[in-house]
Chain A
Amino acid sequence: MTESYVAAVDQGTTSTRCMLFDRAGRMVSVAQLEHHHHYPRPGWVEHDATEVWRNVRQVVPWALRQAGVGVDQVATLGLANQRETTVVWDPRTGVPYARAITWQDTRTADLVADLRSGPHVELFRSVSGLNPDPYFAGPRLRWLLDHVPGLRERAAEGNALFGTMETWLVWNLTGGPEGGVHVTDVTNASRTMLMDLRRLTWDQRLLDALDVPALMLPAIRGNAEVDAKCTTLLPGVSIGGALGDQQAALFGQTCFDAGEAKCTYGTGAFLLTNVGDQVVESTEGLVPTVAYQLPGQPPRYALEGSIAVAGSLVQWLRDSLEMISSAPQVETIARSVEDNGGCYVVPAFSGLFAPRWRADARGVIVGLTSYVDKGHLARAVLEATGFQTRDVVNAINADSGQRLTRLKVDGGMTANYLLMQFLADVLDVPVERPMVTETVCLGAAYMAGLAAGFWADLETLRKNWHLAARWEPHMEAARREQETRQWDRAVERAYGWSPS
C-alpha cells in the first residue's frame, strides 16, 4: 500500500506555507515562502495576488519533494487563508484588477464611518452579525468598485470576479481562465459583511447597502464541500476543504464542542470559542462568526476576540527599542526579576481591539519609578498579552454564559514559558499546548481529510490531539485581583490619547 498524505496550504499574512500530514496528523514536511508587502500610503497594506499564487506553485512541489512524496500519494488538499483580504480579477485572463487589499489596511475607514451613521447599520448587525468595521472584506470590495477605473462596468458584464484569498487560489488551482471554479466557504464569507450569518447565503439587502453586484460574488460552500479538483500543481487531487486561518486553527485544535476555545499567539492574538449551532450575539465586543460547517450538518458558530498587538509588542522591543536582539530573549530578561515592579504596558498602538474597541486609545507605559528596570519592562510586555487575553476570556464568559475551563494555545509565542505560566495564572485555568502547534495547516488538512474520507470522523481527529505541555495556575486569588485591577487602571489611561 502506498502511504498517503494530506497536503495543506496556509496562505498567511506574511508567508505562504505548504505542509504534508500523515494519518496520525503528524507533520511530515513544510515549505514556506514570504511575499512582499506594499505600503502605497499610510494605513494601506497590499499584497500582489499574482505573487502569492506564484509562491503557492513553488511551496507545494517543494513540500512534496522534501518528503519524497509523489502527487499520486496526496489524498487531498486543504486550504487556509488570511481572512478579509480582498482581490478582484479578470476571469478571461486571470489578472487582478488591483493589488489585494489586506485585512490590516484601513483605507475604508471613512466609508465604514458613513455606514455606521447610515440607515443600514442595524441591518448589518442583525443579518451579517457584524458591526461595520474596516476590518471586514465587503467595504474593500466597494472601495475597489469605486476607485478602479472601469471596474463597475467590467463587473456588470461578468468580467470581474471577487474573492478572498482561498477563492483566488481555488479558482487558479482549478484551471483559472479555463474553467476555474469560483467558490468561497462559509467562514471566509462570514467576514465580508455581505452574508446572512444564519442562512449562509449572500443577502441582497446587504449587497444593495454596499452597492456590490451579486454577479461578481463566488458561490458559498460548506468547509468540506468545495467539491473541486486541481487541474494544475496537484492534477487530479481534490480540494477537500477550505477555511479561514483562525477557524482552521480552532478546527486543528479539535475544539468541536461548545465551550472549547483556542488562542493563537502570533503578531496579534485570536481567541475563538466554539459556541454551538446557534449564533451568539455579543454584548461584550466580540465578533460572532462561523466556526465551520460539515456536510449535511448545521453550521457551528464561534465567538471571536481579536487582540491586535501580542507578538508584535516583543518585536517592537527588539526592532524599535533594540532592548533584545531576538524575540526569545525577552523571556531571559523578564526572568531576571520576580515581578513587573509595578510597571504595566498597554500596547494600544492603533487603538484597542476586542473587547474594548477603543480606536481613540494609544499605547502607554505606566507605573514607572526608579526601581523599574528593563527586566520589569520585559515582564510588563509579556504580561500585556496575558491581560488582554483575560479581557477577551471575560467577555466570552459573559456572552456565552459558560465559564472557560481550560485554554488551548498555539502559535510561536507558546515557546515563551513565562508567558504561558502567566496566562494560566491570570486566567486561573490550565493552559494547554498541543504537540502540533502548526494548527492552521493542520485544521485545513483535517477539513480536507474528512471530506476525502482520509479520516473517518471528528472522534478520530480528537484522538490525534496530543498534549505537549500544560501550565497550571499558581497565582493566589488576591494577587490576581490586585494585578488585574492595576491593568484595568492602566488601560483607562490609554483611552483618549489619540491626538484626533
Chain B
Amino acid sequence: MAVLRVLGSAPHPLTLQEVSDSLDLAKATAHGILATLRHVGLVDQDRRTGHYQVTATPDWLHGGGIDPNELRSRAMNWADRLAATTGEAVLIGVPGEGDVEVVHHVFCPDGSPQRMMYGDRLPAHATALGKVLLAFTRWWELRLRQLPLQRWTGLTITDRDALAQHVEVVRRRGYAVEVAELHPERAGIAAPIRGFGGLGVGAIGLSGPADRLFADRAPRPALVQSVVAAARAVTAQLEAPR
C-alpha cells in the first residue's frame, strides 16, 4: 500500500532505488513488493528504463500527486485568509521537474502593483516552498539530488551537506524559512500540504520583504503560526470528501 502511495504521489515513473529510499526499505524488499504489485496488475514497469509507475491511478490513491488545479480550488479560501490575516503575498507550490512550480498566488493586500506569479518556477534550495517540498516529498528530494545548487545571493545554501542538514531541521520543525537566499531583500515562510499517508504534495507560504517577515533575524512567530495553521487547514480540506 505504501509503495502504491509513493508511486501514486509522483508525476513520473520512479526507479527501484527511489522507491526503496522513499520508504526506508531494503532494495530486495521493495523489489519483491513491486514484483507482486506488477503481477496483480497494479504497477507497470517501463521496459526501456525499468522505472515503476501505478497502472492507472485510481481515485483512492490520488491525492498524493494531487492535480494542481484541484489543490488550488480547495486551498483558495484558506490562502486568501492567510494573506488577509498576515498582510503578505501567499504562494502555493508543487514539485515540478527540477524546481518548484507556482500553482497559486494571492497578491499582497498592500495595494502595490503586482504581477501574477502563476506558472513561475522557483529554485528548490533557495525558497521556503522548495525546502518544504525537499523535506516532505521524499521522491522529489531524491530526484533533485543530482541537480547543481545555483548561487543566487551570498546566503544561498550551495553546499549539499549543509542543505541536507537544513532540510532535516525543516522536517523536524514542520516549516521552512528562507531569508535573502534568492533575492537580497526578500524572505519566505512555508509549511507542507500533505496528501494520503502524510506525504507532502505541495507547500503553502508567505513571500515578502525580509524586514516584514523577520525580526531580530528570526521569523515572526505569529506569521509562522498562521502559515502552519493554513497548511493544516488545506490538508484537512484535501481529506474532506469531494
Give the interface of A toward B (CB within 8 A).
24, 26-27, 325-329, 331-332, 412, 414-417, 435-438, 466-471
Min Cβ gap B90→A in Å is 9
Given the complex, which residues of B lie within 8 Å of A332, measured CB to CB?
Answer: 67-70
CA distance A469 to B83 in the complex (A): 12
Min Cβ gap B149→A in Å is 30
Instruction: Name the one of A24, A326, A329, A412 contacting B84, with C-beta atoms under 8 angstroms.
Output: A24
Given the complex, which residues of B lie within 8 Å of A412, measured CB to CB?
Answer: 73
Q: By the criterion CB–CB under 8 Å, are A467 and B109 in contact?
A: yes
Instruction: Name the one of B73, B76, B77, B109 contacting A466, with C-beta atoms under 8 angstroms.
Output: B109
CA distance A415 to B68 in the complex (A): 11
Given the complex, which residues of A lie within 8 Å of B69, measured CB to CB?
Answer: 328-329, 331-332, 415-417
16 contacts between A and B (CB under 8 A): A27-B84, A325-B59, A328-B72, A329-B70, A332-B68, A412-B73, A415-B69, A415-B73, A417-B118, A436-B84, A438-B77, A468-B106, A469-B107, A469-B116, A470-B107, A470-B116
CA distance A414 to B76 in the complex (A): 9
Instruction: Name the one of A26, A328, A436 contacting B73, with C-beta atoms under 8 angstroms.
Output: A328
Min Cβ gap B108→A in Å is 9
Interface centre among B59, B69, B85 (most CB of A within 10 A): B69
Q: By the criterion CB–CB under 8 Å, are B111 and A435 in contact?
A: no
Q: By the criterion CB–CB under 8 Å, are B72 and A417 in contact?
A: yes
Given the complex, which residues of A lie within 8 Å of B116, measured CB to CB?
Answer: 469-471
Chain B 101-121 near chain A by CB (<8 Å), digits 1 or 0: 000011101010010101000
Min Cβ gap A24→B in Å is 7
Min Cβ gap A228→B in Å is 31
Q: By the criterion CB–CB under 8 Å, are B72 and A26 in contact?
A: no
CA distance A329 to B74 in the complex (A): 12
Min Cβ gap A135→B in Å is 30
Interface centre among A412, A437, A468 (most CB of B within 10 A): A468
Closest partner residue, chain B, to A327 (CB atom): B73
Closest partner residue, chain B, to A412 (CB atom): B73
Q: Which 6 A-B pairs have the closest CB atoms?
A: A466-B109, A328-B73, A415-B73, A331-B69, A328-B69, A328-B70
Given the complex, which residues of A lie within 8 Å of B44, measured CB to CB?
Answer: none
Interface centre among A325, A415, A436 (most CB of B within 10 A): A415
Give the interface of B toward A (CB within 8 A).
59, 67-70, 72-74, 76-77, 80-81, 83-85, 105-107, 109, 111, 114, 116, 118, 242
Given the complex, which residues of A lie within 8 Å of B105, measured CB to CB?
Answer: 469
Given the complex, which residues of A lie within 8 Å of B85, measured CB to CB?
Answer: 26
Closest partner residue, chain A, to B112 (CB atom): A467
Q: By the criterion CB–CB under 8 Å, are B84 and A437 in contact?
A: no
Given the complex, which residues of A lie within 8 Å of B72, measured CB to CB?
Answer: 328, 415, 417
Given the complex, which residues of B lie within 8 Å of A331, measured CB to CB?
Answer: 69
CA distance A466 to B84 in the complex (A): 9
Say yes or no: A329-B81 contact (C-beta < 8 A), given A467-B111, A468-B107: no
Min Cβ gap B37→A in Å is 23
Given the complex, which residues of B lie within 8 Å of A415, measured CB to CB?
Answer: 69, 72-73, 76
Min Cβ gap B110→A in Å is 8
Min Cβ gap A3→B in Å is 14
Q: By the criterion CB–CB under 8 Å, are B77 and A329 in contact?
A: no
Closest partner residue, chain A, to B71 (CB atom): A328
Given the complex, which residues of A lie within 8 Å of B107, measured CB to CB?
Answer: 435, 466-470
Interface centre among B76, B84, B106, B118 (most CB of A within 10 A): B84
CA distance A415 to B242 in the complex (A): 16
CA distance A438 to B80 in the complex (A): 11
